[in-house]
Structure 1
Amino acid sequence: TDKEVQMLRDAALKIIRALKIEGGCNVQFALDRNSFKYYVIEVNPRVSRSSALASKATGYPIAKMAAKIAVGLHLDEIKNPVTKKTWAEFEPALDYVVTKLPRFPFDKFENGDRTLGTQMKATGEVMAIGRTLEESLLKAVRSLEVGLIHPERPAFAKLSDDELSKQIIQANDERLFYLAEAFRRDYTIEEVAELSKMNPFFLDKIKHIVELERELAAHKADLGLLAEVKRYGFADEEIAKLWGLHADQVRQMRKEQKILPVYKMVDTCAGEFASDTPYYYSTYESSTESVKSDKPSVLVIGSGPIRIGQGVEFDYATVHSVKAIQKAGYEAIIMNSNPETVSTDFSIADKLYFEPLTLEDVLNVIDLEQPEGVIVQFGGQTAINLAEPLANRGIKILGTSVEDLNRAEDRDLFDQVIKSLKLPQPEGGTATDKAGALAVADKIGYPVLVRPSYVLGGRAMEIVHDATELDNYIDRAVSVSHDHPVLIDHYLVGKECEVDCISDGDTVVLPGIMEHIERAGIHSGDSMAVYPPQTFSQDIIDQITDATIKLSRTLNCIGLMNVQFIIHDGKAYVIEVNPRASRTVPFLSKVTNIKLAQVATLAILGLSLKEQGFETGLLPNQSGIHVKSPVFSFSKLNHVDSLLGPEMKSTGEVMGSDTTLAKALYKAFEAAGMHLPQFGRALITVKDADKAEATALAKRFREVGYQLVATSGTAKAFEKTGITVSTIEKLDSGQETILEDIANRKIQLVINTMSADKKVSSDGFRIREAAIEHGVPLMTSLDTAGAILKVLELQAFSISPIKS
């Protein structure tokens, strides 16, 4: 109620004044909905995560105001940068509703504990704006990019009422979809409120959405109802499903009946004062506030919510692309749905549309703005997935053509490219069913790397060692990616590296090559990467450069392209090509002092690389050694295996730079929060195939002062070479000594690699989980352990035991 809002507002002001806070502050309350009692949960005397959300939701730039206050200005001396007329002491007024939905990583961590509680589990979030709560909620759902355009999971219809009720009682990441399912089964608002303890106001809105679904199903092709449900945020695709039509038919129907979205401005003052801030959202009303300018424009599609595999790196590229578009004399328009990003700051682009990144919503903006073309290269897989449907509807895609994007993504077409260029590639094949997959794997030999086509972040990618494992994988993965075939490659053990290049269709520039510390088989996003390469011969560098230039020209790449290689037996094998910006663009831009996204955008807009001062080839290495290191969030996600493999698991990254590799590694580890003890006890338990290599590492750990602890098999391998080691009982012996020692901080470092044996593998999982739970540094790759040794050897004197 208004009274409760005012009560909490007054309390927040009292707290801020009592604490003498100047600048941004965040106060969290718990409000008893049955009385006027409230409790202060916490006060954050700083700009917080919610400050960014509040800034985007209201248009009031909190951090900018806090910075001005920090240098001595008062609120009545600061102009509101949105209206440019009112002062900053005016509180924002809203004539719209904003919904924020968190984006969770459980599509990557299917075995993770989905229960929500006091520990944050989301990797990102989306925000949507509408005139009603239903509209903003439905726009937010389709912004999530979880394969849904409406709060409905078909699988939930199969749940019993008891199972459904249990899911509603316990908060989890899919609770919204369970609530909607309950109303589809005619649960009352009171029943759902009792189960969920949620405010009936919000439940009433979800129930209204379900009631509108039923209306649509009962009144097909009702134009009056079509106009009504569009005002409440229904997507054309959902309407089409209920009417038995294609979304394009619903879109055409809307256009014929003039049922079109208008665009309203986010102006901080609910229209009370004139404002020229180019920050818009769509709704279905009569008058629009966004007018196409006379200046030619280019639309850049953003990358949506931050999730594993598609992080803020793509937003970096989007923002730099916008700067280049403006530099080239065009009006830059951004479409995005993520309030955490720089691209959704109203001061970045000439126009910002805060909208879901679906085909319908993008086409609506294109209908109004009529841009010269659309750039999809910088928005990750979100934007790339829109390229073909947009091109099919006559929209001009700037940069690499849709046909050439498909030649890189489609396995058979890409194989033809590789064969025509006579480039080495791991032997592989494509299968559309289980029998075909088993036949391909049998032909090329195990182990094999299997994955569905068209993936980002290694989704559903695995290394399998025999036919039984492949059989199990196909049962799971094909259901995930039924629209595309399964790709099967022979798994090569070797060094992995990647390169980003820029092309204008003729000149191809390679700003740098990044060598991965971890060998092939660990996803590139989870590997530590070093620039410039430290162990490659000139011959290998020449092979990589030559292959990249050939691929770029053959694929008619215009803009950015990323190529990944495995170095095996003196040959550079091509394993993947992505004709778009990759997650390494920010890292490579910073270490080479070349703004890759800006250079690429100017090339896309017609300014040749030669005109920008570049020639074909690999650019000289810049000074220093730079390490990109992944950051993981395993401590926040229960029952998620930390073992690294071909499916990406990291949620962020850091960079360490220095004059030597060891120093750069040290800075990277420290920045990633991995504080390495210089002495203590290291637990080493590795699979048989790794024992020889682990023995060499164990000797080095002894020399820098570590005591070694190992399970029986690993300990025997060490003792054969004269390494002193304490043996600890395996978990399958019924002893819990390993877990107790980790919990009691008697172990300072854990190195664990996985065996194909499922029993051993589950024991390893428990060891890894214990290490994460108790904050003990954990390595699941011997290459990472080797990198850590470089750092420890830099810091320590070598020692050897005194012989009597």
Structure 2
Amino acid sequence: MAKLTNSAEEKIRKLRKKYGIYPKVKQIDTLAAEYPAQTNYLYLTYNGESDDINSKSKARNSKQYQISNNKNFKRFEHLNLENSDSFRNSKYESVFSENRKVEIRNSQNDRKVIVLGSGPYRIGSSVEFDWCSVTCTQTASKNNLSTIIVNCNPETVSTDYDMADRLYFEELSLETVLEIYEREKPFGIILSMGGQTPNNLATSLSKNGVNILGTKSTSIDQAEDRNKFSNLCDKLSIDQPVWAKLKNLKEALTFAEKIGYPVLIRPSYVLSGAAMNVAFSSEDLAIYLKLASRISKEYPVVISKYYEEAKEIEIDAVAQEGQILCSAISEHVENAGVHSGDSTMVLPAQKLYLKTVTQIENIAQEIAKNLKITGPFNIQFLAKNNHVMVIECNLRASRSFPFVSKVTGVNFIEVATNAILNINQIPNTKYQILDYVGVKAPQFSFSRIKGADPILRVEMTSTGEVGCFGDDIYEAFLKSLLATGVTLPKKSVFVSLAGDENKVDFLDSAQTLKKLGLKIFATDGTSKFLKSKGITSTKLYKIHEHKKPNVLDFLHNKKIDLVINIFDPYFKKEFDDDYLIRRSAIDFGIPLLTNMQTAELFVKAISLKKLSDLKTLPWSQYITP
């Protein structure tokens, strides 16, 4: 309505309230109108004359409520619902089974707390955040609070009937959340568990008088707004890539020329790195700036120096009033430049200097203190030559919180919820030095997206993830890749390396492949390089060359077990040519590796581990001392 009338949502909302137009709360009928439903499945509608529930009344806990208060059920009064055995054996069990679960689930405590879920599943927002929302809700229930979940995704666990005392099956919009908040009158609302979507509502909800539990909305805005957060880092003397907030293309081009390409374009308040890109030229910069300004219209776009060959590191932590309660430092297998959701994460970190770890811990504590963080947060870092720089900070649960909780044995979300609710007795948050390694690997769905280039960039493309444990990084890494559908090569590998630097970097891996007895197929330039280093390979022509033997024919006839295609963004023509190879590998179901660090680790792992070396153990056996 605001768009149609060229007005603002707030004005429409005030006008609607002025005329007494409010939505009604209705229950979702799970019994097909055969019997009166008493469920906690709720939704809002303007197409109703009365509410199905009374949000002001105390939650009921009487198992016989439905019989004593509903005249349609008077004929069932002879049943003893307190005696579960006699009820279970009666012919009326199916009538009451679902309703009894709802009634038993309700809490008698008037203190309500709303937890916002993650909304629809999409790239950047998936089951990881639903796990956080559910764990948060369960922890609140353990603390004798009446819980209310707002979410609109039927695929989630949070929308199961027994997860909360009340479930509003609604979109996560400002208007809807405000209506539910004003109707239920909870003592507060938790935004930090559902990912970016609920976090984006923080400022608007706060302006409307909503009590946000945990980190304050002003701090959330200071972290989400690239300009404000960069200013904070400068104020605290925390190193970060050289940056600038620029008003127009001319200023952007001047800044990029001054610091040198490549540069990173970074919009604010976006999910999964949307419209984030690396510009290697002025032409790239012009295109990407236009896209970023369209995606993030209300907030500034920041341009910063993009560092190549740098390691990326993350810290997931929980704080209370600015004091960190627990934390876990993970490293990415891939160098910086791959979105954290697409990266392969290793915990505990295997290749970090003690000095680097100390710097990260100190920076995290400094940021937590200055932003007065209460609840979960995540900070991403660059590390190069033992020099640490901050990339960004998210004042919410990250998608790696379930992973670090499983690996360490400490439930970070339970700790975070207790901190948010100001529970005095925080559970033990310390974990011992781990004698095993956990690896989180991305799951991609390129085979279902026709024509998509299966390359890893700063914008997220994965649709899921897997986590595996092992005695060392090689076992855990191989397990994780196998779990995503990658198969081990038995006879042959195809290798295409763009640029001299990539060829040199992969040399040791190529020698290892040869020692493993695998036949190497390669493109012309890669084949010549390998030959100069004493490694024999069979040359295959690229698809566009239309010559024989052609890589497309070998992929189609399943003569290649693995494709390693390492691109170089400076070689634009090779990048476009190799797209056909990458896409064909996906279309023919051939495992594909496009990142140098991932490929090197994979080759190393298959040289050290056989399938028979990979243990199958339950999670509990790893985390139990």
Q: Which TM class, normalised by the smaller chain length?
A: 0.7 to 0.9
The partner residue of 2:554 within 733, 736, 741 is 741
The 1-side partners of 2:140 and 2:115 are apart by 9
Q: Give the alignment's TM-score, normalised by structure 2.
A: 0.85
> Which of residues 548, 563, 568 is equivalent to 2:384?
568
8 A contact 1:687–1:753 mirrored in 2? no
1:723 is aligned, of 535, 558, 573, to 535
Match of 1:289 in 2: 52
**Is the CA contact 2:132–2:397 (under 8 Å) kept in the aligned structure 1?**
yes
Gaps of 5+ in 1: 1-238, 798-804
In structure 1, what is the Cα distance between the partners aligned to 2:194 and 2:501? 40
Deviations 1:558-578 (A, max 9, x none): 100101111101122111110
- The answer as to 2:94 corresponding to 1:278 is no
- The 8 Å contact of residues 681 and 746 in structure 1, kept in 2 or not, is answered as no
Matches of 1:271 and 1:254 in 2, distance apart?
A: 32
Counterpart for residue 104 of structure 2: none
* AA aligned opposite 1:286: E
> In structure 2, what is the Cα distance between the partners aligned to 1:739 and 1:682?
11
Q: Shift of the alpha carbon at 1:685?
A: 3.0
Matched residue type, 1:739: L
2:336 aligns to what?
520
Please name the residue that 1:772 is paired with.
Answer: 586
Contact 1:437 1:486 in 2 (8 A): no
Displacement after TM superposition at 1:657 (Å): 0.6
Residues in 1 aligned to 2:339 and 2:4: alpha-carbon distance in whole angstroms: 40
Query: For 1:576, what is the secondary structure of its paired residue?
Result: strand
For the pair 1:628 / 2:440, whether they are aligned, the reply is yes
Q: Which amino acid aligns with 1:763?
A: D
What amino acid is aligned across from residue 602 of structure 1 in structure 2?
N
- 1:589 maps to a residue whose letter is S
Tell whether the 8 Å contact from 1:430 to 1:440 is kept in structure 2 after alignment.
Answer: no
Q: Do the aligned partners of 2:326 and 2:412 also contact (CA within 8 Å) in 1? A: no
Q: Give the structure 1 partner of residue 280 of structure 2.
A: 465
Q: CA deviation at 1:738?
A: 1.5
Do the aligned partners of 1:282 and 1:355 also contact (CA within 8 Å) in 2? yes
Aligned equivalents of 2:571 and 2:493: distance in 1? 27
Indicate if the aligned counterparts of 2:474 and 2:609 stay in contact, CA closer than 8 A.
no
Counterpart residue type for residue 413 of structure 1 = K
The verdict on how the C-alpha distance between 1:443 and 1:509 changes in structure 2, with shifts beyond 3 A counting, is farther
Question: Structure 1 CA distance, aligned partners of 2:288 and 2:15?
Answer: 43
Change (3 A) 1:254 1:650: same
Q: Distance in 2 between matches of 1:689 and 1:467?
A: 24
Question: Which residue pairs with 1:588 in the alignment?
Answer: 404
SS in 2 for 1:250: helix
Q: Is 1:699 aligned to residue 514 of structure 2?
A: no
Q: CA RMSD in A?
A: 1.9
Q: CA deviation at 1:613?
A: 4.5
**1:486 paired residue number:** 301
Contact 1:682 1:706 survives alignment (8 Å): no
Q: How far is the alpha carbon of 1:271 from its aligned partner?
A: 5.2
- Please state if 1:787 is matched with 2:601: yes
The alignment covers a number of residue pairs equal to 555
CA contact (8 A) 1:509 1:619 kept: no
Shift of 1:619: 4.8
CA distance in 1, matches of 2:490, 2:472: 19
Is the CA contact (8 Å cut-off) linking 1:695 and 1:717 kept in structure 2? no
Residue of structure 1 aligned with 2:19, choices 250, 257, 272: 257
| Superposition map of 1:321-470 within 5 A | 321-470=136-285
Answer yes or no: is the 8 Å Cα contact 1:511–1:592 preserved in 2: no
What is the deviation of 1:378? 0.9
Q: Distance in 2 between matches of 1:455 and 1:440?
A: 23
> Secondary structure of 2:527's match?
helix
1:758 pairs with 2:535: no
- Among candidates 308, 311, 317, match of residue 501 of structure 1: 317
Kindly tell me: are residues 473 and 688 of structure 1, through their superposed partners in 2, closer, same or farther at Cα, counting changes over 3 Å?
farther
Task: Specify the code of the residue in structure 1 equivalent to 2:465.
Answer: E
CA-to-aligned-CA distance 1:384-430 (integer Å, 9 cap, x gap): 11111111111111111111011111223212221232222111222
Q: Tell me the SS of whatever aligns to 2:465.
A: strand
Identify the residue that residue 687 of structure 1 maps to in structure 2: 499
Task: Identify if the C-alpha distance between structure 1 residues 614 and 503 changes in structure 2 by more than 3 Å, giving closer, same or farther.
Answer: farther
> Contact 1:509/1:614 (CA < 8 Å) preserved in 2?
no
Measure, in 2, the Cα distance between the counterparts of 1:413 and 1:481. 15
2:143 & 2:575 partners in 1: Cα distance? 55
Structure 1 window deviating more from structure 2 (389-398 vs 466-475): it is 466-475
Report SS of the residue matched to 1:497. strand
Contact 2:336 2:382 in 1 (8 A): yes
Q: Render the CA deviation track for 1:309-341: whole Å, top value 9, x for unaligned.
A: 111111000001101111222211000000000
Deviations 1:271-298 (A, max 9, x none): 5534432211112211101222440111
Q: Which amino acid aligns with 2:575?
A: S
Partner of 1:475: 290
- The CA distance in 1 between the partners of 2:505 and 2:25, in whole Å, is 62
Give the match's secondary structure for 2:38.
Answer: coil
- 2-side partners of 1:723 and 1:327: how far apart? 63
Find the residue that maps to 2:201 and give its secondary structure: helix
SS at match of 2:303: strand
- Bigger drift between 426-435 and 637-646 goes to 426-435
1:598 equivalent in structure 2 = 414
The within-5 A match list for 1:9-48 is none
Query: 1:439 corresponds to which letter in structure 2?
Result: T
Mapped to 2, the partners of 1:785 and 1:483 lie a distance apart of: 40
The one-character-per-residue Cα deviations of 1:496-525 (angstroms, maximum 9, x if unpaired) are 111110001143033321111111111111
- Kindly state the Cα deviation for residue 266 of structure 1 after the two structures are TM-superposed: 1.9
The answer as to whether partners of 1:308 and 1:649 remain within 8 angstroms in 2 is: yes
Compared CA separation, residues 245 and 481, structure 1 to 2 (3 A): closer
Pair 1:500–1:795, CA change in 2 (3 A): closer
Amino acid at match of 1:240: A
Q: How far, CA to CA, are the matches of 1:386 and 1:412 in structure 2?
A: 19
Superposition deviation, residue 351 in structure 1:
0.6
Is contact 2:466–2:483 with CA below 8 Å preserved after alignment? yes
Q: 533, 543, 560: which one pairs with 2:359?
A: 543
Match of 1:658 in 2: 470
Deviations 1:681-721 (A, max 9, x none): 33333333312102222111112222222222222222222
Deviation of 1:270 (Å): 4.8
TM-score (norm 1): 0.67
Deviations 1:586-645 (A, max 9, x none): 11111111111121011011125xx31557xx8543341111000000011111010111
Partner of 1:676: 488
In the alignment, structure 2 segments of 5+ residues that lack a partner are: 59-109, 612-625
Contact 2:438/2:476 (8 A) holds in 1: yes
Once residues 610 and 484 of structure 2 are traced to their aligned partners in structure 1, the CA distance between those partners, rounded to angstroms, is 21
Query: Aligned-pair distance for 1:361?
Result: 1.0
SS at match of 1:241: coil
Q: CA deviation at 1:732?
A: 4.7
